[in-house]
Amino acid sequence: MLYNRLIMNHDLVSLLRCPRCRDSLSISGTDTAGSCTQLECAACRASYPVVDGVPRLHVQEYVASFGRQWNRYDVVRDDEDEAVFRVKTGVDPRDLVGKLVLDAGCGGGRYALLAARQGARIVGLDLSDAVNRAGKLCAPYPEALVVQADLLDPPLVEDAFDLVFSIGVLHHSPDPRRAFDAIARRVKPGGRLAVWLYRRNSLPQEWLNSALRAVTTRLPARVLEPACVALGVLGSIPILKKSLNKVINFSNHPDWTLRVCDNFDWYAPRHQSHHTERELLDWFEGAGFADLRVLPPAHSGKLYDWAFGRNLIIGSGVNVTGTRRS
């Protein structure tokens, strides 16, 4: 199989650490085609399966909805992905050539794919089965490695990456600050970190959203998915798509698949926290980052700027980038 070729990624495998004892991992099993099937820790001898080229170092049930979502919806849109990457990382993709990059929470792999295409050496890490999709997308790129693991305790060498980016991820972990500190430590001194998190909205919006999600996160996917399709229809109705979605969240993306996927992405995940700019800036400062920049949103316009400034746009972000002090 095309994507079962981890054996070519020795350099990237050398960045991995044993989740139990933090020693290095090496390839200890291959199939008849020479593809890696297992990694083993040199010190504690723990072994980890490699399935379809993806080392499976940690699995958690609370991200199951993401596995379903990213394997079900095909959301790769090259032009849009590049535009979003630029806006949410502050990085020109052309500057990624030869850089060691970590996509912290790669989901189905759209941004890891972009980095791989640009010639980066990219590790995409995600806790959910979304790695199945990401692994396939990145398979043609020998300098890409997708890993199933936990950002709360990333099985990766510290102080190593030129760029770590995390787009829409940390607010889905039970402890976003801890996850932030963990990925921040993977940036090398002088390297960059870019993080995008959901913005905290006005109190009434937060209350209503919490009440809705208290229900939706308990629904089985076979019930929630049709509801997300119905919200997808609302998101296509001109009068509603820029008004009602300030009260309850639904996507107004022009692309149907992305709209339904966005809705599921909002209402299904177990954990979802919202943050302020000040909070995220404090995290960067606390982790030893300088040269901090608050990145502006992709959209603008008089009405949008007014609502964004008052934290009224549900699903919008707080977005900061900074350089790790040497």
Ligand X SMILES: C[S@@+](CC[C@H](N)C(=O)[O-])C[C@H]1O[C@@H](n2cnc3c(N)ncnc32)[C@H](O)[C@@H]1O
User: Which residue's CB atom is positioned nearest to ligand X?
Assistant: 107
Among 66, 85, 161, 284, binds ligand X (CB under 6 A): 66
Strand partners, 293: 321
Site string for ligand X, 74-113 (x = CB under 6 A): -------------------------------xxx--x---
Q: Judged by CB under 6 A, how many residues of this single chain contact ligand X?
A: 21
How many angstroms separate the most distant Cα atoms in the chain? 62
Strands 47-51 and 36-41 come out as antiparallel
**162 scored as a contact of ligand X (CB under 6 A):** no
CB of 168 to ligand X, least distance (A): 4
CA distance 87 to 296: 8
What is residue 296's DSSP assignment? P
Q: How far is the CB of 89 from ligand X (least distance, A)?
A: 11
Determine if 57 is a binding residue for ligand X (CB under 6 A): no
Nearer CB in complex with ligand X: 266/308: 266
Pick from 136, 172, 259, 274 the residue near ligand X by CB under 6 A. Answer: 172
Rounded CA-CA distance 273/171 in Å is: 5
Among 54, 164, 265, 308, binds ligand X (CB under 6 A): 265
Among 15, 36, 122, 152, binds ligand X (CB under 6 A): 152
- DSSP structure class, residue 19: T
What track of x and - describes contact with ligand X for positions 121 through 150 (by CB under 6 A)? Answer: -----xxx-x-------------------x
Helices (H), 73-202: 78-89, 110-117, 130-138, 176-184
Instruction: Find the shortest distance in angstroms from Cβ 126 to ligand X.
Output: 5
Q: What are phi and psi of 25, to 5 degrees?
A: -115, 150
* Nearest one of 194, 134, 117 to 161, comparing CA atoms: 194
Please answer whether residues 209 and 249 qualify as being in contact, where contact means their C-beta atoms are separated by less than 8 angstroms.
Answer: yes
Total residues belonging to the chain: 326
Note the residues at the interface with ligand X (CB under 6 A): 63, 66, 70, 105-107, 110, 126-128, 130, 150-152, 167-169, 172-173, 179, 265
